[in-house]
Amino acid sequence: MESREYRFGNMASKKLRRAGLAQELCERLSRHQINTCHDFLCVSFLELMKVTGQSYQNVQKLLCKVSRACAPKMQTAYDLKMKRAVNPFSAFLSTTLDSLDKTLHGGVACGSLTEVTGPPGCGKTQFCIMMSVLATLPTSLGGLDGAVIYIDTESAFSAERLVQIAEHRLPNYFVTEEKLVSMTRSIHLYRELTCESVLKRIESLEEEIISKKVKLVIIDSVASVVRKEFDTKLQGNLTERSNFLAREASMLKYLAEEFSIPVILTNQITTWLSNGLAIQADLVSPADDLSLSEVSGAPGSRKMESGCMIAALGNTWSHSVNTRLILQYHDLQTRQILVAKSPVAPFSAFLYTIEKSGLVLQDGKDQQDPTWEGTNPALQALRVRNNALKEDLLDNALPSSTGKDPI
Amino acid sequence: MQRDLGSLPLAPALRARLVGAGFSTAQELLEVGPCELSKEIGISNEEALETLQVIRQECDSDAARMGGDPTSLRTCTALELLEQEQAQGFVVTFCSVLDDILGGGVQLTKITEICGAPGVGKTQLCMQLAVDVQIPECFGGLAGEAVYIDTEGSFMVERVADIATACVQHCQLIAEAHQEEDHHKALETFSLESILSHIYYFRCHDYTELLAQIYLLPDFLSEHSKVRLVAVDGIAFPFRHDFEDLSLRTRLLNGLAQQLISIANDHKLAVILTNQMTTRIGQSQSTLVPALGESWGHAATIRLILHWDNNQRLATLYKSPSQKESTVPYCITPHGFRDVQPPPPSQTPEGSEMNPRKRPRIEEDKQ
């Protein structure tokens, strides 16, 4: 049994000797390749009796002993609440988008995975850069007073934009050069371009988080490396991809919970055909339409089969993230952020624009459409740029709607 | 078992015959069937059977005195079972239509599996049930406690606090309407703090921790005998990745299922498990099916599938030994799991799902 997975900070790989089993017994077990708690618990009862040469009752006792060595500690829900209450600011990281914060009970939740997905150009990286600034702020201003780890797989991070957002969003705080420098120094950027290197980087994070006093981990984006390396049209690749993503999610959840920090991940979008198959959509070309006659090779697809855009990476990934925020186009100028999946918030939508200070909510305008309910967050349809264009009456040249738009 | 024949309460004549046939200990006698015994010592079948039963009883009571387990043969008649079932309580979900199709709510001594697409409300339902099991008896609850085993990290204590507060308010309204003494007394101890204090939370990061926790659960439950609900939120998650050896997975899952069934029975509590959905790629279609394979489908007694129909959440009772297969709508409000409010009569007669504009706003104040 591969023990690679269990290297990552949990009790399962605890050696049996440290579980309190007698030396002689441990030696006997190791002769049968049973070395850790994990190995012990996976062997069948009869096999255990055979290997240890002990009676039924004694093997029961051994099982309990080993289980005690690696079972989780019990806490009551009340204990959990008290832990969060001690430091109310550290249960959520405020996004400074007031209506969004209110819906989400405070902001981006600590100790869980929040995914931000949407078409290119909607503002995912902008959101990540903005959150990076906010995390470094002192708690009195709603920040987490800590460093940020930013894993960039698309080389989209722009330090100039970071500074611009900081200066425009919090002009009263970032008054001196020194404050800006200190902020930029706390954001640790890692460029990873393959699945393997991303996984390795995540494995190394436990120590980084402790040594650098990190309070936010961002991966922008999870999808790009995965989609490059796994071609889901090929046999077996879908399972492998799911495995990889599940492993990644599991490690990130461990980090998020262990250190009570938020983890933000970005995702891309894909086309979902009404027959249920999803194909990797190439949305870079502006002439892109939903006419699927352009898409070749999709098994079983007919021409002009209706489809829509949804979050990429599939159904299992949708289970793995705790919160899903969808950014989509509303019209030429404005975009919309949807709370598609959240353990604390109902389905909600907010309009925003992207400006020098980052994302800005358009309060007062037709904010939430209260009669609009969400659906399965894995299949929530998204509006891409071209839908927005078609539905707008303007057919002239596009006015520049925002400042910088690096994506 | 090695009891000498002389110490057994048998008639002297019978004893003489047995000794004459060569029997000396109870053990030897019990190895023989009644027909064989009757032939050997020349008594009737009925007498032989009676003799063996007497001896067996003697030996069993010996075992009991020595601290053995006489209840290892768990038999009872259907009548006894019927009486038990009728007296049994249920854990309500607060969605009355869902409770109806379940026959009253989530049943004790059974395993109920809740499958569903992401975000459909599985964790919400688990949290709701962990609160509802604690409702005092005078309000129709079980006054029990809950064990919550979380493998996905979806448990959010703020949300449970919201649900618990709403539940307490609901009970307070009932108490005001009915003005009975035990209602007010019960409400003294039924508060947000007490509800949260009686949810025992375990966070398992992988299947080893889950296995370990389930092994230790019987001892925990013996110490906390008021627990009436064990929720495992995410039985699928730890088993879905990195399992090259599928037969090991099947074996472990089967073992887990067996242990949970015996826990549910021994401690008279309800076990609920949540399961994910997985994509099954067909020829030209792909469908969502419950994860963990076909053989896992046998583990749970009752299977509930939560799914979406456009914007409406639906719950389908997919497998149950006593209730009919049916589907009902539900919704999730800031207060928790609830019924869908029927649209007021002034609007369109047919509640059309296709037209979301006619869907009524969810009641109660949003925060």
Domain count, chain B: 2
Cα A340 to Cα A372: distance, rounded to the nearest angstrom: 12
Tell me which chain A residue has its CA closest to the CA of residue B117: A376
With CA atoms as reference, the chain B residue closest to A345 would be B334
Distance CA A347, CA B80 (A): 48
> Could B334 and A111 be called an inter-chain contact, meaning their C-beta atoms sit closer than 8 Å?
no
Considering only the beta carbons, identify the residue of B209, B276, B283 that sits closest to A319. B276
Taking an 8 Å cut-off on Cβ atoms, the answer to whether B212 and A37 are in contact is yes
- How many angstroms away from the CA of A67 is the closest CA of chain B? 4
User: Is residue B22, in this structure, part of any structural domain at all?
Assistant: yes
Q: Which of A308, A347, A307, A309 is nearest to A325 (CA)?
A: A347
Statement to judge: residues B54 and B110 lie in one domain: no
| pTM listed for this prediction | 0.75
pLDDT at A306 over 90: no
B76 assigned to some structural domain: no
CB–CB contact A66 B212 (8 Å): yes
* The dihedral sign for the CA sequence B276, A266, A251, A83: negative
Cβ-defined contact of B213 to A71 (cutoff 8 Å): yes
End-to-end CA distance of chain A: 43
Cβ of B202 within 8 Å of Cβ of A372? The answer is no
Q: How many whole angstroms separate alpha carbon A271 and alpha carbon A307?
A: 7
C-beta atoms of B237 and A68 within 8 A: no
Q: Which residues contact A326 (CB under 8 A, 6 or more apart)?
A: A117, A118, A311, A337, A338, A340, A380, A382
In a domain, B361, yes or no: no
User: Is B138 contained in some domain?
Assistant: yes
Joined tokens for residue A197: 């290197």
- Tell me how far apart the alpha carbons of residues A338 and B348 are, in angstroms, rounded to a whole number: 28
Domain match, B13 and B158 both? no
> What is the distance between the alpha carbons of residues B63 and B41, in angstroms, rounded to a whole number?
28
Task: Look at residue B69 in the predicted model and tell me its pLDDT.
Answer: 46
Q: B153 and A343: CB-CB below 8 Å?
A: no
- pLDDT for residue A7 is more than 60: no
Confidence of residue A391 (pLDDT cuts 50, 70, 90): low
- CA gap A369, A391 in Å, rounded: 18
Task: Determine the residue type at A369.
Answer: D
Asked whether residue B100 falls in the same domain as residue B229, the answer is yes
What is the rounded average pLDDT of the residues A166-193? 91
Query: What value, to the nearest 5°, has the Cα angle with vertex B169 and ends B168 and B174?
Result: 95
In-domain check, residue B73: no
Least confident span in A284-298, B69-83, B223-237:
A284-298
Closest to B214 (Cα-Cα) out of A320, A16, A70: A70
Residue A403, pLDDT score: 39
Residues in A closer than 8 angstroms to B333, CB to CB, are 346
Which of A285, A264, A267 is closest to A224 using CA atoms? A267
Spell out which residues of chain A touch residue B198, defining contact as CB-CB under 8 Å. 76
Closest CA of chain B from A141, distance in Å: 22
Q: Which helix (H) or strand (E) holds A101?
A: helix A98-103
DSSP B37-94: HHHHHT--HHHHHHHHHHHHHHHHHHHHHTT--GGGS----HHHHHHHHHH--EE--S
Contacts with B203 from chain A: Cβ below 8 Å: 72, 257
**Measured on CA atoms in the order A207, A210, A212, A214, is the torsion positive or negative?**
positive
Check A250 against B206: CB less than 8 A apart.
yes
Tell whether B51 and B89 lie within a shared domain: no
Determine, yes or no, domain membership for B270. Answer: yes
Cross-chain Cβ contact A322/B204 below 8 Å: no
Minimal C-alpha gap between B190 and chain A (Å): 14
Residues of B in contact with A374 (CB under 8 A): 119, 311
CA distances from B43 to A118, A173, B5, B28, B54 (A): 87, 104, 17, 18, 16
Residues A265, B180: Cα–Cα separation, whole Å: 53
> Domain check: are B241 and B281 in the same one?
yes
Measure the N-to-C terminal CA separation of chain B; round to a whole number of Å: 70
Query: Measured between beta carbons, which residues in chain A are less than 8 angstroms from residue B286?
Result: 275-277
The verdict on B19 and B151 lying in the same domain is: no
Q: Answer yes or no: do B153 and A242 touch at CB < 8 A.
A: no
Domain co-membership, B155 together with B250: yes
* Mean pLDDT value across chain B: 82
- The answer to the question of residue B87 being in a domain is yes
User: Do the chains contact at A72 and B209, CB–CB below 8 Å?
Assistant: yes
Q: Which pLDDT does position A387 carry in this prediction?
A: 58
Q: Which residues of A touch B148 (CB under 8 A)?
A: 77
Dihedral angle, C-alpha A213, A217, A220, A222, nearest 10 ° = 130
CA distances in angstroms from B10 to A233, A300, B2, B42, B53, listed in the order given: 79, 81, 16, 16, 11
Residue type, A142: G
Q: Which token pair is B257?
A: 């299922």
What whole-number distance in Å separates Cα of residue A375 and Cα of residue A310? Answer: 12
Contact check, Cβ <8 Å, A63/B251: no
Q: Is the dihedral of CA A197, A200, A206, A212 positive or negative?
A: negative
Question: Residue B211 belongs to a domain with what CATH number?
Answer: 3.40.50.300
**CB nearest to A76's CB, from B200, B283, B311:** B200
- The pLDDT score that the predictor gives to residue A265 is 95
Point out the residue among B118, B157, B200 whose CB comes nearest to the CB of A376.
B118
| Length, in residues, of chain B | 367
Q: How large is the average pLDDT for residues A358-377? A: 65
A9 pLDDT exceeds 70?
A: no
Q: Alpha carbon B63 to chain centroid distance?
A: 31
- Cβ separation B215–A63 shorter than 8 A: yes
Contacts of B211 in chain A (CB under 8 A): 41-42, 67
State how far Cα A390 lies from the chain centre: 32
B116 and B12 fall within a common domain: no
* Co-location of B288 and B146 in the same domain: yes
CATH of the domain at B45: 1.10.150.20
Chain A: give the shortest CA distance to residue B95, in Å. 18
ipTM computed for the complex: 0.72
Q: How many CB atoms lie within 10 A of CB A28?
A: 15
Q: Is residue B360 part of a domain?
A: no
Dihedral sign from CA coordinates of A233, A238, A241, A245: positive
Lowest mean pLDDT of A239-248, B106-115, B244-253, B336-345, name the range: B336-345
| pLDDT at position B21 | 82
Q: Which residue of A has its CA nearest to B310?
A: A375
| Averaged pLDDT score across all residues of chain A | 78
Contacts of B197 in chain A (CB under 8 A): 76-78
% of chain A at pLDDT higher than 70:
78
Would the pLDDT of B148 be above 90? yes
How far does A72 lie from chain B, in Å, by closest CA?
A: 6
Question: Would the pLDDT of B365 be above 60?
Answer: no
Least confident of A32-36, A86-90, A199-203, B201-205: A86-90
Of residues B106 and B89, the one with the higher pLDDT is B106
- CA-based nearest residue to B307, from B99, B97, B120: B120
Cα separation, B89 vs B102, in Å, equals 12
- B208 and B236 in one domain? yes
Q: Nearest C-alpha of chain A: how many angstroms from B82?
A: 34
| Tens of pLDDT, residues A395-407 | 444 443 443 433 3
Spatial separation of the C-alpha atoms in residues A349 and B363, rounded to whole Å: 19
Are both B42 and B121 inside the same structural domain? no
What tokens appear for A340 in the block? 């598609």
B61 plus B85 within the same structural domain: no
What is the extent of the structural domain holding B300?
81-339
Q: Which of A11, A76, A313 to mutate to probe the B interface, most B CBs <10 Å? A: A76
Binned at pLDDT 50, 70 and 90, residue B135 comes out as very high
* Cα gap B183→B181, rounded to integer Å: 5
